[in-house]
Amino acid sequence: MLFARTDIEGESPPPAAEQLEDLAGREVFSSETTYPKGTEVFGEGEEANFVYRIATGAVRTYKLLSDGRRQINAFHLPGDVFGVEDGMTHRFTAEAIVKTRLRMIRRSSLFDKATTRITADTNKLISLASRNLRHAENHILLLGRKTSRERVAAFLLEMDQRLGHPHEMILPMNRRDIADYLGLTLETVSRAFSLLRDKEMLQFDESTHRQLRLLDRKGLARFDA
């Protein structure tokens, strides 16, 4: 919808490699840097000053939960470009899986060449798309590494926040929808709701079961890993 044409994932392997070189020109790449196996290329939350292209080797990008559970978002292989962010900071940590040679390009040179031409209107469309991407990335962590209770707590907090922290919220979706969103069964979701009710972090109408009040948002946040 947003853009004119794109390659279908998995059909014709997209020449992402050339795209970036094309875009920025060889001269803006610093000479290749070598990262030994296990080395961090950049950390989650760090300022995103560069975009990277893999010459040889491989890179993993991942998020961590506080207790160390790790969710790898993607593997990057020779030719792949990674570290393209829509904000000022990286949303992942990136590490070399094996000895890896990377070419870097300054964020600023990308801006000069391409992004400054983007109009305000376009930026709005893009921000819609990047919102989707951030949401998807967080959901990957949830689905890959969180327990059923953590997922339900996260869901409640997400809805609460999107509705502007109302005193009471009425969920439009049923338990099966929530389950299919969280990668669970409706019974597991129901049990998690009951548990949170019993722990007095949550209160819900016994007849409709859709109208609810968050009694302890801090507690729920603690529940959500």
Partner DNA sequence: CGACTCCTTGACAGCGTTCAACAGTAGTGG
Partner DNA sequence: CCACTACTGTTGAACGCTGTCAAGGAGTCG
Could you tell me the CA-to-CA distances from 81 to 21, 144, 213 in Å, in that order? 10, 24, 45
Return the residues of window 86-145 that contact its own copies according to CB under 8 A.
Answer: 86-87, 97-98, 107, 110-111, 113-115, 117-119, 121-140, 143-145
Interatomic CA distance for residues 225 and 154, integer angstroms: 9
Least distance from C-beta 35 to DNA, angstroms?
15
108 touches, from DNA, its own copies, none (C-beta below 5 to 8 Å by class): none
Tell me which of 109, 147, 203, 211 binds DNA, using CB under 7 A.
147
C-alpha 225/C-alpha 216 separation (Å) is 15
**Smaller CB distance to DNA: residue 93 or 105?**
93
CB of 164 or CB of 167, closer to its own copies? 164
- Angle, to 10 degrees, between the axis of helix 175-182 and the axis of helix 148-162? 110
Sites for DNA among residues 181-210 (CB under 7 A)? 183-191, 193-194, 204, 207-210
Which of the ranges 179-187, 190-198, 199-207, 215-223 carries the binding residues for its own copies, by CB under 8 A? 179-187
Quick one: which segment of 26-34, 175-183, 187-195, 211-219 binds its own copies (CB under 8 A)? 175-183
- With CB under 5 to 8 Å by kind, the binding choice for 12 among its own copies, DNA, none is none
The CA distance from 63 to 69, in Å, is 9
For 115, half-sphere exposure in the C-beta direction (CA atoms, 13 angstrom radius) is 13
Question: Is residue 192 near its own copies by the rule CB under 8 A?
Answer: no
Q: Could you say which of its own copies, DNA, none residue 185 binds, taking C-beta under 5 to 8 angstroms by partner kind?
A: DNA
Q: Name the one residue in this structure whose structure tokens are 């809805």.
A: 159
Nearer Cβ to its own copies (44/137)? 137
Q: What is the dihedral of CA 103, 106, 112, 117, to 10 degrees?
A: 80
Residues recorded for the chain: 225
Residue 72 binding: pick among DNA, its own copies, none (C-beta 5-8 Å cut-off by kind): its own copies
Binding of its own copies at residue 214 (CB under 8 A)? no
State how far the Cα of 110 lies from the Cα of 58, in Å rounded to an integer. 23
Residue 69's φ and ψ, nearest 5 degrees, are: -60, 135
- The count of other CB atoms within 10 Å of the CB of residue 124 is 9
Interaction partner, residue 140 (DNA, its own copies, none; CB < 5-8 Å by kind): its own copies
